[in-house]
Amino acid sequence: MTGVATQVNPLALLAVGLAGTLGSLGVDTLPEALALATCWLVVVALASPSWRHPAFCLALVALPVVSVAWSTWMLGGRDPQTTALAAVRIFVLAWPGAVAVGYVDVARLGDYLAQTLRVPARFAAALSAALQRVGGTWRAWHDIARARRARGLRRGPGAMAFAVLVHTMREASRTSIAMDARGFAAARRRTWAEPASWTRVDVGAVLLAAVLAVTPHVM
C-alpha cells in the first residue's frame, strides 16, 4: 500500500491494465495461472493507496469469473482443474485492468494522448473534459439526493439515476457552450499547459507491465 499507482501517468497505467489482458491469453496451466494471479495481487497490494477500490473491482469481476467457471464446469466435464484455470484466467484478464483504469488521472489523460500518442488535440481535450465531468456526476448525485431528502421524497435508485442523467445532459450542453465560448470551437492548433513527461516510475511501470504481459507466453 504505497499509493505509487496514483503517481503513474495515465498511459503507463493503461499499459499496466492492458498487460493483465495480454498475459492472461498466454496462460495454459493452473500453476501458471495461480502464479500470475499472485504476481498481480502483489503488484496491486504494493501500488494501491488503499484496498477500497481494488476490492470494489473484485466485486465487479466476480460476476464474469463465476459465470465462466460455472459454464466451464457444466460443459468441461466437471473437471475442477479446468474450471479453476478458466476462473483464474478471467480474473487476470479483467481485474488488473479495472484497478489500473480507476487510478487514471483523467485530467492528465488528454495531455498524454495528445503529446505522447499524437492523438488529435481537440479529441483529446474533449475526452479529458468529458471524463472529468464524471466526477461532477458524483457531486450532482449528492446535491440531488440532498434536495430530495429535504423534500421528504424517496431516493430510489431508478428515480435518482434518471434525475442525475437529465441533470448531466443539461449540464453537458451548458458546458459545451462554455467550452466553445473559450475558443474550443475555433481551436485549430492547440497547445498544452503541461508537458506529458515520463518519470522513472512511469518507465518502471511500463517495463513491469511488459514482463507480466510477455512471461506467460514464453513459459
Partner 1 sequence: MTIGFRDFSWTPAHARRPTLARIDLRIAAGERVLVVGPSGSGKSTLLHAVAGALGTTILGEATGSVDAVGRLGMVTQNPSSSVVADRIGRDVAFGPENLGLPRKEIWRRVDAALEAVDLRYGHDHLTSALSGGERHRLALAGALALEPELLLLDEPTSMLDAGLGDDVRRAVLDVVGDRTLVVVEHRFERWLDVVDRVVALDGGRIVFDGSVGEFRVASVPEALWMPGRPAPDPTVIPAELVTPVEPARIVARGMAVDQVTRTLRGTVRTRAVADLTVTLDPATITALVGPSGAGKSSALLALAGLLDPVAGSVEPPPDVGWSPQDPEIGFVATSVRREIEATPQALGREVDTEALLEAVGLAGRGDEHPYRLSGGEQRRLALAAAVAHRPGLLAMDEPTVGQDRDTWALVAGWMVSAARAGTTVVAATHDPDVPRHRELRLSHGRAVR
Cβ pair 96, 44 in contact under 8 A: yes
Sketch the per residue contact string, 34 through 73, with partner 1: x for CB under 8 A, - otherwise.
---------------x---x--------------------
Nearest residue (CB) to partner 1, 153 versus 207: 153
**Cβ contacts of residue 122 below 8 Å, gap of 6+?**
184, 187, 190
C-alpha 156: how far from its chain's center? 27
Check residue 112 for interaction with partner 1 (CB under 8 A).
no
User: For partner 1, what does the binding mask look like between residues 158 and 197, x meaning CB under 8 A?
Assistant: -x---x---x--xx-xxxxxxxxxxxxxxxxxxxxxxx--
Nearer to partner 1, 6 or 81 (CB): 6
Exactly one of 21, 115, 116, 132 binds partner 1 (CB under 8 A); which one? Answer: 132
Only one residue has cell 504505497, namely 2
Q: Which is nearer to partner 1, 66 or 134 (CB)?
A: 134
User: Is 157 a binder of partner 1 (CB under 8 A)?
Assistant: no
Q: Is 4 in the site for partner 1 (CB under 8 A)?
A: no
Q: Report CA 157 to chain centroid distance, whole Å.
A: 24
Query: Site for partner 1 (CB under 8 A): which residue of 74, 146, 161, 197?
Result: 146
Stretch that binds partner 1, among 28-36, 80-88, 127-135, 205-213 (CB under 8 A): 127-135
Nearest approach, Cβ of residue 30 and partner 1 (Å): 32
Nearer to partner 1, 123 or 138 (CB): 138
Toward partner 1, which CB reaches closer, 30 or 140? 140
The answer to whether residue 147 forms part of the interface with partner 1 (CB under 8 A) is yes
Residues that bind partner 1 (CB under 8 A): 3, 6, 49, 53, 102-103, 105-107, 125, 129, 132, 135-136, 138-140, 143-144, 146-154, 159, 163, 167, 170-171, 173-195
